[in-house]
Amino acid sequence: MADHHFGGIKVRNLYKIFGPNPKAHIQAVQNGLSKTELNEKHGHVLGLKDINLEIPSGCIQVIMGLSGSGKSTLIRHINRLIDPTAGEMLVDGVDIVKMNEDKLRQFRRHQTAMVFQKFALLPHRNVLDNTVYGLEVQGMDRAKSVAIAMNWLERVGLKGFEKKYPNQLSGGMQQRVGLARALSNDAPVLLMDEAYSALDPLIRMDMQTVLLDLQKEIKKTIVFITHDLDEALRLGDQIAILRDGEVIQQGTSQDIVLRPADEYVANFVKEVNRGRVVQVEAIMMPLPSAALTGGPTIAAGTTVEEAVRLLCSSPDGEVHVVAPTGQPLGVVNFRQLATAMVNSH
């Protein structure tokens, strides 16, 4: 079994230069040589520049950016499919950059599992045999591996499909197999590279829901790559936005939408459905000193959209925002909520 007191991931001062002799140029890049100059003068490409991330155990870290921003390069450093030019990649306190081949093989086999955009299922194996694949490689006996696989297939909604072959399944179903296979491995770190990008919007939302529901229980450290902001905001406990190999903003969905770091991020969040992201604490007013007790309340952490639904029946009044302990934190009214949904300021 995986160690569920897993300590998360720390990326420290990570650089990646692609080209025939990356080490020769790392110093210059660290001293401020630009991506353009590195390319034009030295024929090398700067893939990642001074990435620092702290991903707590059991949290979903979304890494977001347009294509070419370095997000897939970054996720491939976590299981060292790509070696960094400089920097550290600490997984549960151990720098995997320093691991020898044998340790690395063990690490990949037991500590990480990956879910790919293109599903990566073996076409000649049925759903069950695709799901047990990782356990087979580890040498687990058939009866035990089948029991584990069947459990996860049921959990991702594929009970009754175990004898089907990948070409008999829709994209959404195939992605469920990919997820069940990754979860069967019981690795504490789950890497998902554009896992849902090839799916239709509704199926994509279904798969996001499946992941969020499972995560409440499995509490994996999940690194999820996407170029879709709505997906990032829905899934991410933390979001890091990459551009040209650099992290330009890190924060929660609230931080990103309410306090974009620069114009690039501001343009990203302009079209967002704010009602689904912004929470009532961000817009509530302080409690009046003679605050009335009793009357309607809503929980802190409720989204604006949800609060509007709750208030539709009494659009004139105010409602108290309360902490999980029941302590009142502030008040909101219908008008403020409506304004927050349409206004970006």
Which single residue is written with the structure tokens 């309607």? 296
DSSP string covering 299-321: ETT-BHHHHHHHHTT-TTSEEEE
Per-residue pLDDT in tens (0 to 9) along the chain, 345 residues: 444 456 799 999 999 999 999 999 999 999 999 999 999 999 999 999 999 999 999 999 999 988 888 999 999 999 999 999 999 999 999 999 999 999 998 898 888 888 887 767 898 999 999 999 888 888 889 999 999 999 999 999 999 999 999 989 988 899 899 999 999 988 899 999 998 888 888 989 999 999 999 999 899 999 999 988 889 999 999 999 999 999 999 999 999 998 999 998 998 888 888 888 888 888 888 887 655 666 778 898 888 888 888 888 776 778 888 888 888 888 888 888 888 887 655
46-49 long-range CB contacts below 8 Å, 24 or more apart?
Answer: 46/15, 46/16, 46/17, 46/244, 46/245, 47/16, 47/17, 47/18, 47/73, 47/245, 48/14, 48/15, 48/16, 48/73, 48/74, 48/77, 48/84, 48/245, 48/246, 49/15, 49/244, 49/245, 49/246
Q: Give the CA angle between residues 78, 80, 155 to the nearest 5°.
A: 50
313 close to 292: Cβ distance less than 8 angstroms = no
* Distance (Å) of CA 85 to CA 39, 51, 69, 154, 206: 16, 12, 17, 42, 38
**Structural domain spans, the chain:** 58-80+98-273, 276-342
Which single residue is written with the structure tokens 């933390």? 238
Class of domain 276-342: alpha beta
- CATH number, span 58-80+98-273: 3.40.50.300
Cα–Cα dist 71/239, whole Å: 12
Cα–Cα dist 257/233, whole Å: 9
Cα–Cα dist 5/8, whole Å: 9
